A and B are shown apart, each in its own frame.
Chain A
């Protein structure tokens, strides 16, 4: 079975540009999570969706970040405008139910110059 799919795997952009990260969760999973991983802060939860509805976006750093889940098989995380401090690895994870094991995608390594 396919796991969580993320694209692109690597993204290099210049400060001020819009960046869109994409995620396809595991089929049948109704919970989706976006995380950011940095050396300094480790893995941090950005936003959580349940049944395509955003439940908790308290981890989104600022208004430059937005996330959508238009259907059960697709989610996006958008940064506009991007800044160098946004450079990190962004992971998408999904789980069967709210409290079940979260399965992670391969991540998108974002570099903002």
Chain B
């Protein structure tokens, strides 16, 4: 069974204080790893897809990286507007459409 574990469950940062969120996964064969951002009262918003170990993608202050066992979401010099829950999901080879989600990391950035 595919499993995704995200840590920490919650993270509080000061504005400008860089950090990383972790997503550990167990899957029979990885087709893709997805990062989403979810604001309170809204649906998950797509950020990145990573397909192979060593791949990196960036968007503004966010950079996602992938190894064979985990993914990191690095947040550089965060701003209060980066506060949200960040969700990680895996899609396994052979299961095509199915996304298995982690419980998320609630990030709070204080001004």
Does B34 count as interface, using CB distance less than 8 angstroms?
yes
Per-residue CB contact flags for chain B residues 73-108 toward chain A (1 = under 8 Å, else 0) read 000000000000001010100001111011110000
Chain B residues within 8 Å of A, Cβ to Cβ: 31-32, 34, 36, 41-46, 49, 87, 89, 91, 96-99, 101-104
Chain A binding surface SS class: strand
In the assembled complex, the Cα of A102 lies from the Cα of B34 at a distance in Å of 10
Does A56 count as interface, using CB distance less than 8 angstroms?
yes
Within 8 A of B (CB), among A59-97: 91, 93, 95
Known: A102-B99, A104-B43. 18 other contacts (CB 8 A): A4-B43, A31-B97, A42-B101, A42-B103, A43-B89, A43-B99, A45-B99, A50-B97, A55-B97, A56-B97, A93-B43, A98-B96, A99-B31, A99-B32, A99-B97, A103-B46, A107-B43, A109-B41
In the assembled complex, 26 residue pairs joining A and B whose CB atoms fall closer than 8 Å, in A order, are A33-B97, A42-B102, A42-B104, A43-B89, A43-B99, A43-B101, A48-B98, A50-B97, A55-B97, A56-B97, A56-B98, A91-B43, A91-B44, A95-B97, A98-B96, A98-B97, A99-B32, A101-B34, A101-B49, A102-B34, A102-B46, A104-B36, A104-B45, A107-B41, A107-B43, A109-B41
In the assembled complex, the Cα of A98 lies from the Cα of B97 at a distance in Å of 5
Find A101's partner among B31, B46, B87, B96 (CB 8 Å cutoff): B46
**What is the total of A-B residue contacts with beta carbons within 8 Å?**
51
Closest chain A residue to B87, Cβ basis: A43
In the assembled complex, the Cα of A76 lies from the Cα of B2 at a distance in Å of 28
In the assembled complex, the Cα of A106 lies from the Cα of B32 at a distance in Å of 24
**Closest approach, in angstroms, between the C-beta of B89 and any C-beta of chain A?**
8
In the assembled complex, the Cα of A21 lies from the Cα of B45 at a distance in Å of 21
